[in-house]
A and B are shown apart, each in its own frame.
Chain A
Amino acid sequence: MIDNFNILLPEIFLTLSILTVLMIGVFTKNSFNLVSKLSLIIILLSIFILLNNETSSIKVFSESFIRNAFTTFIKILILISSFFVLNSSQQFIKDNKIDKFEYPIIILLSILGMFFMVSSNDLIIFYLGLELQSLSLYILAAIDRDNLRSTESGIKYFILSALSSGLLLYGCSLLYGFTGSTNFDIIAQELNSENTGAVFAMVFILVGLAFKISVVPFHMWTPDVYEGSPTSVTSFFAVAPKVAGLAVLIRFMQTPFENILIEWQTIIIFLAVASMILGAVAAIGQKNIKRLMAYSSIGHMGYALAGVATGNISGYSSSIFYICIYVVMNIGAFACIYLMRVDNKYKEGINDLSGISKKHPLLAFSFLIILFSLAGIPPLGGFFAKFYIFMSVIENEMYTLAIIGLLSTVISAFYYLKIIKIIYFDETINKFDENRNISITSTIFISCVILVTFFLYPALLNDLVNSIFI
């Protein structure tokens, strides 16, 4: 029994430290600084614990909780991305007076939810993890409670997300009804394509998951929530929940639904194609950079799904590869957005970037790298991410998917180029405040260095990602 707890050590550690930090937050005044520092330390310690943990595959607590290399990798990725997001958003949070001590704690809670979600081997654990994550995210979206747009986005997110959770729960109950178990392994044994009810259940569950990772046609909340929430929250939305959602999708394809892969694949291909196209086309007319990032992330999730759609290990690992690079690019992009500050007011319009290359050459150059990488132009990291996706897509002879995907790359290149045009070719209208915040600049620096030097040794990440599926 005590061994079983060992397996859960990262989760237990996280839970206990959340409770401790919550107490500290309650009993000290103006404790945001202290709590957020502690939270960063907790995140680092959790990474440390995960790294030290064994990664052999094991199922505990009546096989309802699984730990293997895949879940460990995903958890570390979630923690690293949350660390950078939280670290670089400190100043933004203070400037916007949302520096409540609950903020980092809620982020930790949502990470805890993601942990359980990723590690679940049972529908109930999965649903609980998902809800813990979602509830934390609703609060985060509305954290700036005196701001109309923030509260609006929180409510919008809550209503739509609750609906999707309902659908998902309905799917879970159907699945239980048809297979008689909530355990993934047993479900996998019981299911086959002739089981029409199971296909229904699968569709409902897929809708719920698609909503969480915001792929078309369940993306409607994304632009509004991205735009309305404070930028620090948006940047969190853009990375960690996406990683967790994609990982869960892969877990579902690998275990409970492995026997009805064909039905499942058709829907995923549709979702991928629709997201790639909509992400590319709808972003063109955007004037708000956060809204644009929302559409961009819809498009990127489409590419990641294209890898999942192949339904085999090489496809899954290319998706995880993609999401790793996506996280690096998005963290960098949002760190750049934090620097768009004129007279202590944060700007969000794309036109506010006009001509900044003259006044802020370094910021402009970093943005240039990140945008070209998002567009997938070689030799930057984003290209390799797309390259691996299309490698596995074409390996499975899904040529149409590959061609549609690459053509939408060209369309999406247009709006990334538009931002670059505004930064480099247009006249200067704004001068951003001098910002020597080391945590933001170092985040931008790290993400740019990763993207630029990625071509030197792409095998590193590739081998790592391949190894987690064994």
Chain B
Amino acid sequence: MNFPILSSVIFLPLLGSFFILLSRSQNNNQGAIYVSLFTSLANLVLSLFLWYVFDNAETEFQFVEEKNWISGFIKFKLGVDGISILFIVLTALITPICIISCINSIKTRIKEFLILILILETFMIGVFCSLDLVVFYIFFEAGLIPMFLIIGVWGGPKRVYSAFKFFLFTLLGSVLMLVAIIAIYWITGTTDVVQIYEIKIPKEYQYLLWLAFFSSFAVKMPMWPVHTWLPDAHVEAPTAGSVILAAILLKMAGYGFLRFSIPMFPVASEYFIPLIYSLSVIAIIYTSLIALMQDDMKKLIAYSSVAHMGFVTLGIFTFTQQGMEGSIFQMLSHGVISAALFLCVGVVYDRVHSRLISSYGGLANYLPKYSLVFIIFVLGGLGLPGTSGFLGEFLILVGVFKKSYIVAMLASLGVILGAAYMLWLAKRVIFGETHNEIIKTIKDLNLSEGTILTILAIIMIFFGFYPQPLIDTISTSVNHLINNYQIDLIYHLKVNNL
């Protein structure tokens, strides 16, 4: 196929944002909304088509595009495999949902907001497509600019602090990755990921390079103890910003581990397993406990994200088929569920203008439809069987059990804690007495909110019962990844013994 489909998926939103720039600011920016909605939906269709024509049995990268970019040493190289393609679909799915949600929640400068969302979509899809370290780094970092502005301009009262914290934390992590990327170039002579897989970086370099990449991904993931930017950023960001942050930006790091850290530095990945396990277990238990004590709904969901991401890192570093598939599945499912939960919080926030749990209570009596979807997503968030949340955690725990009983037991504790804080949240918000008089006057879900939440609920439950299409796409690539990983380990062992 010669049609550059990946480039189209990446740059279509950018094109859309140009048209928004040209649109006139009349009629409440109707034009801008339609253009952005149209572009993002077109992109969704395009990415679904991409998934449709994607060959599940193929282990190599597909739809590869290669252009000379910086003469002689960096190529603009794109391509997808079973690991990355679903993240592209997820990104393309979440973006139109954000755009619909911001019609209700964003009151000022909506045109600029839509432009930023679309530019951000370009960068996010670019991250998942790029097969060159420098191209990846550029997309990875460029996403900071729109997100910084989204938090800072449309955010809550402490927005400046949060935006700065978000930006500087991430940048600090990433610059070390840049050093590592350049070092890799001088060690191997290329930044093309596929070639680096072949070349096998010498063992003595791997440890430091792994740590440099880790510093970037750990901040982005976020792993304990560098997770502190996330709750702040989530709380202050506008609803659409939180959704993108939780659903996609956090997934970049997990994807980065799978695409770069593990295949490029297998020896170091093996070596640092204890580090990852301890940080992940601490993240799971510690942040779950913190989540229990939150009185702010968004903060609670943010901490739960950190705990869920702890599961993801745990699963990735089991190097088992189940664990890795579970991690990818968990990331996708968390993308849908956390997005939905933030949207739910956004719905009531737009009406009551409070995120505090204590200002709600007894919503079931006044907002029946809202309460139903909220409960569905809470159950998904705690991983009830039948929702996609369950499957990811289950597969990860299966994988971890193979590696270490203690870690698996501790991680399972996180599942219980997760149920505790989620159910308690539902109890305090949906059930009980209504103390706040405003709640009695507010309206239930409107059409647009109802539609997007229903779609997300259907996706969550459908893949909870029938995960096969996703697993089919993922499994070949994961299998390939694990095989190569083991071959590389043996290779390095041999080199060492010689």
Contact = CB atoms under 8 A, between A and B. Distances in A.
A390 interface: yes
B249 to A, nearest CB: 16
Interface string B171-196: 11001101100110110000000000
A253 interface: no
Contact of A377 (B145, B164, B179, B185): B145
A196 B112 CA distance: 63
A424 B70 contact: no
Contacts of A377: 141-142, 144-145, 171
A293 to B, nearest CB: 21
Interface stretch (B57-65, B148-156, B454-462): B148-156
B71 A462 contact: yes
Interface residues of B, number: 32
A409 interface: yes
Contacts of B164: 414, 417, 421
B145 A425 contact: no
Contact of A394 (B134, B167, B168, B183): B183
Interface stretch (A53-61, A159-167, A296-304, A395-403): A395-403
Nearest to B171: A410
B491 interface: no
A318 B75 CA distance: 19
A427 interface: no
B167 A402 contact: no
A378 B142 contact: yes
B286 interface: no
A325 B70 CA distance: 16
B176 A403 contact: yes
B372 interface: no
Contacts of A410: 168, 171-172, 175
A339 B284 CA distance: 52
Nearest to B152: A425
Interface size class of A (residues with CB under 8 A): 20 to 34
A377 B141 CA distance: 7
Contact of B182 (A361, A383, A390, A455): A390
Contact of B186 (A395, A406, A424): A395
Given A402-B182, A421-B164, A424-B153, A459 B175 contact: no
B152 A424 contact: yes
Interface in B177-222: 178-179, 182-183, 185-186
A390 B71 contact: no
A458 interface: yes
Contacts of B138: 378-379, 383, 455
Contacts of A420: 148, 152
A417 B70 contact: no
A462 B68 CA distance: 14
Contacts of B163: 421, 425
A311 to B, nearest CB: 17
A407 interface: yes
A333 B146 CA distance: 21
B69 interface: yes
B142 A394 contact: no
A46 to B, nearest CB: 30
A372 interface: yes
B159 interface: yes
Given A421-B152, A459-B69, A406 B142 contact: no
Contacts of A413: 167-168, 171
B152 A394 contact: no
Contacts of B152: 420-421, 424-425
Nearest to A455: B138
Contacts of B182: 387, 390-391, 394, 402
B19 interface: no
Interface in B92-149: 112, 134, 137-138, 141-142, 144-145, 148-149
B142 A459 contact: no
Nearest to B73: A391
A463 interface: yes
Interface in B439-457: none
A455 B126 CA distance: 14
Nearest to B153: A424
Interface string A409-451: 1100110010011001100000000000000000000000000
B175 A406 contact: yes
A394 B186 contact: yes
Contact of B160 (A372, A391, A399, A421): A421
B179 A390 contact: yes
Contacts of B183: 394, 399
Contacts of A414: 164, 168
Contacts of B142: 377-379
B148 A394 contact: no
Given A394-B186, A410-B172, A462 B179 contact: no
B175 A378 contact: no
Contact of B179 (A357, A402, A455): A402
A372 B178 CA distance: 17
B160 A425 contact: yes
Contact of A462 (B70, B112, B134, B145): B70
A425 B153 contact: yes
B213 to A, nearest CB: 14
Nearest to A460: B71
18 contacts: A377-B144, A377-B145, A387-B134, A387-B178, A394-B179, A394-B183, A395-B186, A399-B183, A406-B176, A406-B179, A407-B175, A409-B175, A410-B171, A413-B168, A417-B168, A421-B152, A425-B152, A462-B71
Given A394-B182, A406-B176, 12 more contacts: A361-B112, A378-B138, A383-B141, A391-B182, A417-B148, A417-B168, A420-B152, A424-B152, A425-B152, A425-B153, A458-B70, A459-B68
Interface of B: 68-71, 112, 134, 137-138, 141-142, 144-145, 148-149, 152-153, 159-160, 163-164, 167-168, 171-172, 175-176, 178-179, 182-183, 185-186
Q: Which 6 A-B residue pairings sit nearest by Cβ, starting from the closest?
A: A406-B175, A378-B138, A459-B71, A394-B182, A425-B152, A378-B141
